[in-house]
Structure 1
Amino acid sequence: MAGAEAQPLRAAVREAERVLADAGVASPRADAELLAAHVLGVPRTRLPLVTEIDPVAADELRRLVRRRAERVPLQHLTGWAAMGGICVAVGPGVFVPRPETELLFAWGLAELQGVRRPVVVDLCTGSGVLGLAVANARPDAEVHAVERDPAALAWARRNANIRAAAGDSRIRLHAGDVADPDLLADLAGMVDLLLCNPPYVPEGTAVPPEVAEHDPEHAVFAGDGGLAVIRDVVDRAARLLRPGGAVGIEHDDGHGEAVPALLASHGAFTEVTDHADLAGRPRFATAHLRRTQTPHSAG
């Protein structure tokens, strides 16, 4: 662009924030800064050290801001999502990981303290982010990740291959359905930790455009008031966990009583607890498999 001059980055970010706020984006300042960092190729934390943005970069930022204002997910524009110290590729056809799942991940890591060479299962893995984050944090772990949707499994395989090519810990991917009672049958009674971020939004619930128009519907919504898949996850956990093994299941903020009740009523679990997210909303339930199984819980 002949004659064009660089402009202050602060002004460009402020304008991007205004556009995103007018479009109803939930976090306009954060998204404006993350898009600017993406365009400039610097971490967000380094933005205060950048004073100007050149015309070409400014045009690209405005283009991405327009798409974000159309409620295209931020992660689709940057091409990645972060969790537990790693980034994974995401885009159309796979559920975008949410920051709330970091809490489930952190809980899971704490459960593995003192466990040597743990066996970990990540059900409904989607992009593979939970399983890959565990493998990154615990290179000694044997991590199995399960996904039924071929499109999502392709994203998980891509991410697993990227991590493996970089010399990071590997995970074992499985095409499978949590409703299958024989899922991972060879691991029955051997799993130290089972994590799951399943579809759990009750069907018919209004969701933001980023979710309604871009996340795969089957990765978001579930029947039975959002509990259909979770019921199967509870059954799989009872079969796969070793005595004393732990399960953590993310759930809808309206499930703070229902999911712990499912775990408690199963009969195989003890120490059932529900956990809130950073906003104080019920977010995931945890439990341990009883060390001594009763005839009811063993069946």
Structure 2
Amino acid sequence: MAYDFQDSNEKRFNVLALYNSTYQNISYVPMPFGLLRVSRSLNAVSNAYLQFLQGQGSGIKMLLEFTKEMPKQATRLTIDFSSLIGPLFFEWVVALLFPVMLTYLVYEKQHKLRTMMKMHGLGNGPYWIIYYAYFLILSTVYLVLFVIFGALIGLNFFKTNDYGIQFVFFFSFINLQIVLSFLAATFFSKVNTAQAIAYLYIFGSGLMAGSLIRNFLEGGKFPRHWITVLEIIPAFSLYRGLYELSQYAIRASETGNPGIQWSDLNDHTNGMRDVMIIIIVEWLVLLPVAYYFDYAASVGNSSGLLSIIKRLLRKNPTWRRIAVNEVA
């Protein structure tokens, strides 16, 4: 806070208060609009001026009572639970498709169904196209119904934000999630193991993303470029996108303005654009990688990269000493 007394004198009090309008909230519950205590600062400088005129022991003060904080944007007292708890809960809802697709792929491997398909002439290319299209249609219908029902029951998380941004964000992420399912399926041969690890990954990564990303963003002290690095992890990028949607939904419910729009992506504090770029780039990079790993696993190439990785992860065989009489 800075003061400029301009032409103030013993008969005239004219002060200009300068304050920083940018502020942050460090509470765990997001509050889009903070309180700037400018009125109390003005009261303090007014009392200082009165003491300058009347002396320190005069006891004359300018009382500050029944005055609200200003300046403050007009808001409405609303509690939108869908936006407050939405990022973590909706992340789990979206990510639950991952173990479903992974289980489907590993089940076929465990019961040799894909081998029988290959014996009937189904190659790797048509296999990928068929199952990728099936998973894409399944995921798209699932999320479209999810958004539609959320908007119909009046959740501001879906109703106030631009539907085009929501479609691009969710559609790009489900494509990345499908590729991750194909990639992860190459490392599992048992359905139970794949399911257990998939669900642990979903709930564990969701809790970790909710704790780290939210605290880093609202704390304001963690470098933003390192937050972008963390968003390379798919669970973190999903949470960041949902977090941005929830923040704009909260602001929309309090001010009556629309939620996130395409023009808001140019805001330097908005991370939605970076998140969508990261998701799309990861999808394009991991798509050929997942196809190669899947092809190497299907043909059983012992000299391929996948076999080398599996051998490195496999435990070393245990040896025991054999006596001479045992050999005989």
More helix by share: 2
Larger radius of gyration: 2
- What TM bracket, shorter-length normalisation? under 0.3
Greater relative contact order structure (CA < 8 Å, 6+ sep): 2
More strand by share: 1
TM-score scaled to structure 1, two decimals? 0.23
